[in-house]
């Protein structure tokens, strides 16, 4: 198994996190996956080659790994969060990329939209906690949780602090407590 990714790529981070949590051996090839490097030159995000199968993008790689090696990590079939969380148009992803890779940073409207999406995630988690379901897709962690972790934990990169999102902070601590958790550069040690 070979993973093509970059340590600072928030799209590839959930893949590395799942590989670590599942203790799956994987060779890594580091690529420059910045938006400037990839503009018109191939896929954005991680690429996995596994025994003749090639998966491109965070959602596809996460689904492949879970289906192949750990079906208990797949979310219920009706889960609509994974596609939204891994979409390049997801406001927290856009805001972070613009904050990191442009001189002018993200426009104020996009930062506000990103904060609203984080509030939606916090609300979802709060309601789930009332029902005894502390994870995004229910009572146990799934690849949806791993996909959400980067955009939530890295919100400081575009100026949105975690103070307003108590359920999200509790959930971040739960993800950090998973056996095999590996940090990503830029993720604050305490949320």
* Contact assessment for residue 143 and residue 175, using Cβ atoms and an 8 Å cutoff: no
2-72: CATH topology is Glutaredoxin (3.40.30)
Confirm whether pTM is higher than 0.85.
Answer: yes
What one-character DSSP code corresponds to residue 139?
S
What's the per-residue H, E or C state across 62-105? Answer: HHHHHHHHCHHHCCCCCCCHHHHHHCCCCHHHHHHHHHHHCCCC
Residues 6+ apart with CB under 8 A from 48: 1, 2, 3, 4, 15, 54, 55, 61, 64, 65
- Average pLDDT estimate for 24-50: 71
Task: For residue 139, give Cα distances in angstroms to 24, 67, 70, 103.
Answer: 24, 19, 16, 42
Q: CA-to-CA distance for 137 and 87, rounded, in angstroms?
A: 18
- CATH 1.20.1050.10 region(s) of the chain? 76-176
pLDDT score at 40: 42
pLDDT score at 109: 92
Question: What CATH number labels 76-176?
Answer: 1.20.1050.10
- Give residue-wise pLDDT tens across range 102-122: 899 888 899 999 999 999 999
- Give residue-wise pLDDT tens across range 135-160: 998 899 999 999 999 888 888 889 99
């Amino acid at each position: 198994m070979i993973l093509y990714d970059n340590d600072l790529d928030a799209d590839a981070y959930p893949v590395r996190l799942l590989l670590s949590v599942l203790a799956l051996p994987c060779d890594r090839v580091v690529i420059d996956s910045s938006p400037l490097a990839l503009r018109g030159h191939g896929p954005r995000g991680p690429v996995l080659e596994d025994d003749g199968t090639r998966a491109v993008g965070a959602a596809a790689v996460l689904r492949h790994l879970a289906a192949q090696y750990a079906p208990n990590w797949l979310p219920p079939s009706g889960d609509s969060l994974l596609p939204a969380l891994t979409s390049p148009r997801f406001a927290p992803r856009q805001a972070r990329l613009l904050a990191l890779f442009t001189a002018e940073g993200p426009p104020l409207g996009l930062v506000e939209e990103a904060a609203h999406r984080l509030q939606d995630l916090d609300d979802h988690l709060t309601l789930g906690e009332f029902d005894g379901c502390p994870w995004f897709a229910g009572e146990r962690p799934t690849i949806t949780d791993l996909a959400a972790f980067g955009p939530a934990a890295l919100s400081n990169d575009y100026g949105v602090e975690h103070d307003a999102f108590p359920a999200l902070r509790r959930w971040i601590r739960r993800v950090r407590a998973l056996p095999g958790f590996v940090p990503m550069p830029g993720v604050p040690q305490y949320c």
